A and B are shown apart, each in its own frame.
Chain A
Amino acid sequence: MTALATGFGLGFGIAAGFGPINAFCLALGLRHGFPPAWGVGVGAALVDGFCALLAGLGVAAALHGAAKGWFQVAGGLALFVVAARMARSRGGEARAGSRFSRTLALSLAATLANPITILSGARPSRASSRASGSLASRHSRSSRSE
């Protein structure tokens, strides 16, 4: 339960920090309403979960030097694509049909290419493993005393 609460709090705290995905979600919500903005949110949540899994498996430790550099370049280019799309669609009104799926795909690509997401996923996995570790030691202490 403690690990779940820690994960929930960290997910909320990381998402609440101002970043490009938050700005994208905010702008889409203001201009086109809830569904496309929520598509961005769902994409970000899916990638956060995936990155926490990767970080838990120790992939974050491999993100150093050239690998991190290539990730950053890819992330930067993905954000430029997002910004260009936003600037282009500024004048036109929303085509309601596939907006949720389109913004979901765009959010998945932009968040996946962002190395900060994977690196920030490393903290929750460490924190939750610490929480579950302390729970396990408390449990073993109490079972020994029983």
Chain B
Amino acid sequence: MMAGTLLWMTGLSAGSAFAGRCASERLLRALSAVSAVAIAGFGAWLLAGGIGALT
């Protein structure tokens, strides 16, 4: 299971690192912002689920 996860993550890391060389600074900032918002959204979803389960 670990090997499968590691293979996917290695491919994702290598692909994004390669794409990062080609993308412009402005696009990278926008993508970082979108990722941060997506991660915060997942966090809010988990938090809401956890609070719902506790109350």
In the assembled complex, A9 has its CB within 8 A of some CB on chain B:
yes
Interface size of B by CB at 8 A reads 43
- Docked pose: A37 CA to B23 CA in angstroms: 17
Tell me the dominant secondary structure on chain B's binding face.
helix
B25 to chain A, nearest CB (A): 10
The residues of B with any CB-CB pair to A shorter than 8 Å are 1-10, 12-17, 19-20, 23, 28-29, 31-33, 35-40, 42-54
On chain B, the residues within 8 Å of A90 by CB distance are 29, 32-33, 36
Contact residue among B7, B13, B20, B50 (Cβ-Cβ distance under 8 Å from A31): B20
Contact residue among A9, A23, A48, A65 (Cβ-Cβ distance under 8 Å from B39): A23
- Docked pose: A14 CA to B54 CA in angstroms: 27
The residues of A with any CB-CB pair to B shorter than 8 Å are 7-16, 19-20, 22-34, 37-38, 40-42, 44-46, 48-49, 52, 65-66, 68-80, 82-84, 86-87, 90, 114-115, 121, 124
Find out whether the CB atom of B4 lies under 8 angstroms from the CB atom of A9.
yes
On chain B, the residues within 8 Å of A68 by CB distance are 50, 53
